[in-house]
Amino acid sequence: MSKTIQQKMHEQHRRWQSDCETWRSDIDEWNKELRVALGDLREVEDMLRDSLDALAAHADSVWESEQRRGAHELALREEAKSGAEKKTDKAWAKSHREHAARHERLADAHARIKKYQHQVVAGVMRLLRVARQGM
């Protein structure tokens, strides 16, 4: 038995209604997800601002290290000129070890910041590309 045109239209309307119900459910879920994502992005923004502060502190540490190294080098040069370098070799060796240890800590911090920086910026750029394609 074949269906009438009206029956076929009613079936199609029921499918459309089912589609719309599914779509409304999807939209509700997506709204929830986007609201959570916006909260997460605020958290990420706060973290990025903290990273800027940490980067400024790192830059200060690098500047201070340069100043200490310059002062240390100047003092060594002056001592060498005066011919008194043999008198303080042990003191200079200790001071140099301390400078070296500080420099290593600074290098380690810089490597961690560099890795973090590359990962975070790449992640933000990926997110931007995807978001720009979506709408």
What pLDDT is recorded for position 48? 96
What pLDDT is recorded for position 91? 79
- Mean pLDDT over 49-54 rounds to 97
What pLDDT is recorded for position 93? 83
Task: Write down the H helix ranges in the chain.
Answer: 5-82, 89-134
What pLDDT is recorded for position 34? 96
Is residue 125 scored above 70 in pLDDT? yes
What pLDDT is recorded for position 52? 97
- CA-to-CA separations, 36 to 33, 55, 96, in angstroms, rounded: 5, 28, 52
Residue recorded with tokens 């029956």: 7
Name the pLDDT band for 86 (thresholds 50, 70, 90): low
Is residue 109 scored above 80 in pLDDT? yes
CA distance 129 to 1: 54
**For all residues of the chain together, what is the average pLDDT?**
92
Structure tokens that stand for 5 in this block: 């045109």
Cα angle: 73, vertex 77, 82; to 5 degrees: 150
pTM of this structure? 0.75
40/3: higher pLDDT: 40
What pLDDT is recorded for position 40? 97
Residue 16 is which amino acid? Answer: W
- Going from N- to C-terminal start, the domains of the chain cover 5-134
pLDDT (tens digit per residue) in 10-44: 999 999 999 999 999 999 999 999 999 999 999 99
